[in-house]
Structure 1
Amino acid sequence: MPRSKNTEIRASRTSRLLGYIAGFLMKLWSLTLRYNVNDEAGIVQPIILEKAVIFALWHNRIFTMPPIWQRTGGKKRSTVVLTSASKDGTTLATAMQLFGLGAIRGSSSRRAVSALIGMKKALLSGYDVCVTPDGPKGPRYSVQPGVIKIAQATGTDIIPIHIKYSAAWRLNTWDRFVIPKPFSRVTVVFDTPLNYPKEMSQEEFEVARRDLETRLIDGSDDR
């Protein structure tokens, strides 16, 4: 049976072209930046974590994450990124390909079930999954429950990623998207892994969600 048009992931030549351009610009831009990496999770060490993990960072930090990932332990790991089921998601997924990152399409608002299933399959197959828990549309700096639920279901650790900039522009978007200024310093922290029991009460779950949210907020250079 043909899929209904309104349930298809919208892709177009324009979206993919924009993705290639964005990925190329990200690579060029990253060459001007200076990086400090603080690895508290054992990701970029010679002996890296063997099991798959979930990486969590705020949506407005994704501009510099792929280049950082390629420069650190990411080149030794198989990783997919959760992107939205939209034209913007197609652009982001295409850009990620230039850094050797795969994509799972979906979000909390569209194709959420397929996204969760895709994340679970990826993790159980040994792929790391990178998510922005306040994306794709916010509210900014608010952790949605899905990332903790998938960690519970798969027994996977969540590693918060904190990225700070010595100088940056902040766009007038819902997430105040951050672009580091050329030749600025980027500080990256792979935080201590968080693990969650499969069974938690509603109150315990909310405490865990707020803890992750607080960690990510405290690791940012703005509030």
Structure 2
Amino acid sequence: MKIPIDPAAFAPLIAWLFKLWVRTIRFEPEGCTEFAELNKKGQPLVVALWHGEIFPVTAFGHTLTTHLVTFVSQSKDGEVIARMLERIGHTTVRGSSTRGGVRALLKAKRIMEQENRMAVFTIDGPKGPRHKAKDGVIFLAQRAGAKIVPIRAFPERRKVFEKSWDRFVLPMPFTRCPVRIGEPMAVTTEKLTEEVMARETARLEARMHELKPEQ
């Protein structure tokens, strides 16, 4: 008799391993390092990152705060990720640009307002194209009256999964990891027409690409 095993049951173990892994990494942040303090003082913020850098950026964020609301897809893999993130203190909302997106954005906005949590957004996820920002982050920032904080992480010793669409980056334990944090970006108050949205996402992409390993 085959006994099915729910992968989400491993979330507590994954969360424990993640926290242990994070403790070994030497993060070296540069730029707007006080962004978490700005949020504590009442400034709504949305943290923007590339999907491929989700592990090192989330790891760095864990050293600062867990007072976050994070978007997770409604897939089976997403269920495992959601439970793991909740174990380390995040609030999660389920949805993506391909499924349940608007509902998730509005739920995240309510959580931001009610609990003063920063939102975390993989702006080119869940399926790419790689390093091409999608509309959701601009929509959320405008509706929540939030600024967008672009963040990138560049672990020196890493495994890059070249065959994945996002070229997922896994930092090796005990590595040095420069982190680059851009100045909070205010989004337009204009109506988000197709033209305005394209302009704002391009502006955010440019901010992301300005962040380099050594500055």
TM-score normalised by length of structure 2: 0.86
Map of 1:38-187 to 2, 5 A cutoff? Answer: 38-40=30-32, 42-44=34-36, 48-72=40-64, 74-75=65-66, 78-125=67-114, 126-171=116-161, 172-187=163-178
The alignment partner of 2:30 has SS state of strand
Determine the structure 2 residue equivalent to 1:9. none
In the alignment, residue 28 of structure 1 is paired with which amino acid?
L
Identify the residue that residue 32 of structure 1 maps to in structure 2.
Answer: 24
SS in 1 for 2:6: helix
Q: Return closer, same or farther for 1:213/1:156 CA change in 2, 3 Å cut-off.
A: same
- Mark the runs of 5 or more structure 2 residues left unpaired by the alignment: none
Aligned length: 207
Q: CA RMSD in A?
A: 2.3
What whole-Å deviation, never above 9, does each CA across 1:125-182 have from its counterpart, x for those lacking one? Answer: 2221101011111111110011101211221111111111112111131111101122
How far 1:47 moved relative to its partner? 9.1
Gaps of 5+ in 1: 1-11
Distance 1:204 1:114, change over 3 A: closer
Partner residue in 1 for 2:186: 195
Question: In structure 2, do the counterparts of structure 1 residues 45 and 117 end up closer, same or farther at CA, with 3 Å as the change threshold?
Answer: closer
Structure 1: which 4+ aligned runs deviate by more than 6 Å? Answer: none
Which residue identity is paired with 2:79? T
Kindly indicate whether the alpha-carbon contact (under 8 Å) linking 2:44 and 2:145 is maintained by their aligned counterparts in 1. Answer: no
